Structure 1
Amino acid sequence: MASLTVIVPAHNEEEGLPATLESLLRQTVPPDEIIVVDDGSVDRTGVVARAHGVTVLTPPHNLGSKAKAQNHALPHCRTDLVLAVDADTVLAPDYIEKIKPAFDDPAVVVAAGNVQTRFTRTVWERGRSTEYLFGFHWNRPIQNHANSPVVCSGCCSAFRRDMLVTFGGFPERTIVEDMDITWSQQIAGRKAVYVGDAVAWAADPETLTYLRKQVWRWMAGFFQNVRLHLGGLIVRKPMLALWIILAVFEVFTAPLWWAAPFLLTLGMHHPVGQTLAWWLGSELVFTTPPLIYAARRRRLPVLRVLMNVSFVYLTKAVNLYYAWKALIVELILVPLRLSQGLVVYEKGRANTTPGA
């Protein structure tokens, strides 16, 4: 079976890192090595990592992004596979066991599992949990069956090491290295796959402040990759290009959908109650069945999952605002040289992880 090294980039992660490392150390198929990159931490991140008996690399200064921290560790990897895991992500005990068989296909160079939220305490975490349940049990399987995953999540993706070395490491040219490498490899004719049975739990933003930071980075990175790769996708990977074009189309049309109840009520004098019932009913008919299916797959209380649906509209509003901002900045202002776009990597969470 292929050998595997785990790279964990960590900046001020002393609170969240123990759970991540413990999940790696109790894998049913253990990794050959775990490397923590203590990237300019001013807390006890390095001490915590060493206490778990893993390899710790300490760059001379903060490298400034997750991709750069991962690239710092890459020359120290000698295994067939490299698994990149965020320092606030916990893997299921059989994650490596489930992800490795994807590489039995020699065409596969990147594989990622099913990401769910670790905590559902705040309204923002509850909204994100609904997004993940829907996305990873509906969108991702469809994309995978079409051999065109849109992204292999950076918090828990495995890669062939020789591909990474040949490619020049984790890409640093965009603010989201996971999407960049997922698209680049598919354009090159290689395969990226989604492994739904390999489950990971990520700690998502618990406040609006950090949700905004994360979503801005994600949306800016998405449109950076659109600017960089869409032409190549249309020529070399048309199905993936279709998913991307549909996502951009959704950004354009979402304001109309959100405004529909008000337009129908004010402009066409439809009864308010009837209009809202039609609008909400249309949403729920589409979203409820996949969420019920996801809840049963994850063995979650169905009622609790459905009660979180209302919170997803808060996260959707944040998503839409930053999607439009990113579209304007990255697709209009950057080509016109009126902006550099987003170049500073900011975490989507505080430096400490609240208790479960």
Structure 2
Amino acid sequence: MEQQGAGAVVAPRVGRTPTRDDLVVLVPAHDEQDAIGGTLRALERQTVAPGRVVVVADRCTDATEDVAAAHGAQVLPTVGNAHRKAGALNQALEHLPCDGTRYVLVLDADTRLAPHFVETALALLDADAGLGAVSGIFTGEEPHGYLQRCQANEYVRYRGQILTTRRVAVVTGTASVFRLTALRDVAGARGGALPGVRGDVYDRSAITEDSELTLALKTRGWRLAAPAAARCRTELMPTWGALHRQRVRWYKGMLDNLREYGLTRVTARYVGQQVMIALGTATLAVLLALTAVSAVAGTFALQPFWLAVGGVFVVERVVTVTEADARGRLLAVTVLPELVYAIALQVAFVHALALALTRRDTAWNHVVARPAAG
């Protein structure tokens, strides 16, 4: 039996699990005592076990370090870190052994890996020397309430987009496996071909370190993959305020990264995506305004053409969440609740755009996780 809770102890596994001593896991954590136990248990259940697990404890004031040690992880406290997650990971990467390590798995302290995650990622990296990283494809934890179901549906659609286009937009910080030589290549190019300080793997000034590292890897010519089997689960924001802060940071982080890199062959697609988000936001705002004006003026009427367009939209919303549960599919059918959610995301984008244009910073969004069973 497995005892649940922050200090849970896992019973010995029956049989022998293959171990990859050339893989090191880094788990950056700041006050994650209630979440990190489930993360480490998921690592223990991998079909291929990592040779070393390091919890990078960044200014923790709770029992995060004790829980990590109870699961057999090495605990590495940061020293004088003023650069958030990027700084914590840079310190951990400096302590990696020079010999033997070939791959580094970086995952958040609230991430649950699917059992074949490590095996899948290492098989791809072993087979292709030009592959710099294997990104996880994240889905939401069990959603509770309307807001989290909207987020869960969004993540289902994002997964479908990745698998359909086979393009890795961001090597997610949720969970990704990197080739160590690729990370060292990035570190050596910082301060020259790449933004940042020479020797840093992660740009210490980036507020979205995963999207910045993605641009760095692509700029250096490394290819990226995100296989269907590399699944992981991540937290869902519990409140509208937490969601807004999260998305403002995501949007502004990408805008800042693109400003640093400028328009290049690598960034052109990302710039186009930001332009399309801005146009979509403006279009929806105008449409809602015109609808409101016509309703007040008494001239609003349903037109067959727009009803047909709306029908196609509804079908698209439902088809793209076929992997969601019944409540998620029902949410998609009703349309209006997800439209409200989309407007909330667009408000966050406008906020982020204003911050980026005025070059103001945004606060880091730390959410205290609920205790997880695994």
What interval of TM-score do these two structures reach, taking the shorter chain for normalisation?
0.7 to 0.9
Unaligned residue ranges in structure 1 (runs of 5+):
335-339
Deviation of residue 180 (structure 1)?
A: 0.7
Is 1:333 matched up with 2:344? no
Question: 1:127-276 counterparts in 2 under 5 A?
Answer: 127-138=150-161, 140-144=162-166, 148-168=167-187, 169-232=201-264, 234=265, 237=266, 241-260=268-287, 263-264=290-291, 266-267=293-294, 269-271=299-301
Give 1 or 2 for the bigger CA radius of gyration: 2
Deviation of residue 134 (structure 1)?
A: 0.5
1:98 to 120, 139, 157: 120
Secondary structure in 1 aligned to 2:229? strand
Secondary structure in 2 aligned to 1:346? coil
1:22 is matched with 41
Deviation of residue 219 (structure 1)?
A: 0.9
Distance 2:21 2:273 in 1: 37
Normalising by structure 1, we get a TM-score of 0.85
What is the aligned-residue RMSD (CA, Å)? 2.5
2:319 is matched with 289
Per-residue CA distance 1:301-352 (angstroms, 9 max, x = gap): 4x3221233543343222211211222321x323xxxxx433x4332x2x23
Distance 1:259 1:284 in 2: 21
Aligned AA (1:287): R
1:324 is matched with 350
Q: Which has the higher helix share?
A: 1
1:352 is matched with 369
Distance 1:248 1:354 in 2: 39
2:133 to 106, 110, 113: 110
1:315 to 341, 351, 372: 341
Deviation of residue 272 (structure 1)?
A: 5.0
CA contact (8 A) 1:128 1:312 kept: no
1:3 to 22, 25, 46: 22
CA contact (8 A) 2:106 2:175 kept: yes
Larger mean CA deviation between 161-170 and 199-208 belongs to 161-170
Relative distance call for 1:244 and 1:130 in structure 2 (3 A) is farther
Larger mean CA deviation between 310-319 and 85-94 belongs to 310-319
CA contact (8 A) 2:38 2:372 kept: no
Normalising by structure 2, we get a TM-score of 0.81
Q: Percent identity?
A: 24
The count of aligned residue pairs is 331
